[in-house]
Amino acid sequence: MAKVLVPLAPGFEELEAITIIDLLRRAEFDVITAGLDDQPVTASRRNVIIPDTEISKIMQESFDLIVLPGGLPGADNLRDDPNVQALLRRQATGQGKIGAICAAPRALAQAGVIAGKTITCYPGALDQIDTSSFSVSDAAIEVDGNIITSRGPGTAMDFALELIQQLAGAELRERIAAQMVRA
């Protein structure tokens, strides 16, 4: 069973985070949500989520996937958190995968884990960032090696399904997609 970390920072995008967590748990992955501290996390639309743990308590654990939901200021809070940055750098040097949606690729750029890669993100999310070391597309989803990125709330379900495929194959992806009664 794949082990997945979903860090939740204040201001995260609910639709992205909950969709990702829900579908990955439907796939029977071991999904751990972690706040930046030991407090409930208030999302971008003021919904309050209680994470499973805090990020400092799982720093020594290994994950098959670390996936970052977007939203503002959530993505910037992930970008600025030293524990998240350390986990991303460690993940990039191992065999694990990294996912990010919406504005969360800001955190990947800060960690230096997307050099030479092609990514996608929410339109304008990287306008203030030097993108000369990586390429940015306007695709709904980009998979480049161990990096999987997506555009935003409207692509969250397809992104979560792609994460399932990357971790466990097309058959499981299709089984989970069928449960969603997608047209």
Position of tokens 């097309």?
Answer: 170
User: Alpha carbon of 132 to those of 78, 129, 136: distances in Å?
Assistant: 22, 9, 10
The catalytic residue among 23, 27, 102, 109 is 102
121 is catalytic: no
Q: Half-sphere exposure (CA, 13 Å, Cβ side) for 75?
A: 23
Please give the Cα distance from 47 to 118 (Å, whole number): 32
Q: Does the N-terminal peptide bond of residue 123 adopt cis geometry, omega within 30 degrees of 0? A: no
Instruction: Spell out the residues 6+ positions from residue 71 whose beta carbon is closer than 8 angstroms to its own.
Output: 11, 12, 13, 14, 16, 17, 43, 44, 102, 103
Q: At 113, give phi and psi (nearest 5°).
A: -100, 0
Distance, in Å, from the CA atom of 173 to the CA atom of 24, rounded to the nearest integer, reads 10
Phi, psi of 147 (to 5 degrees): -105, 125
Which residues are designated catalytic?
102
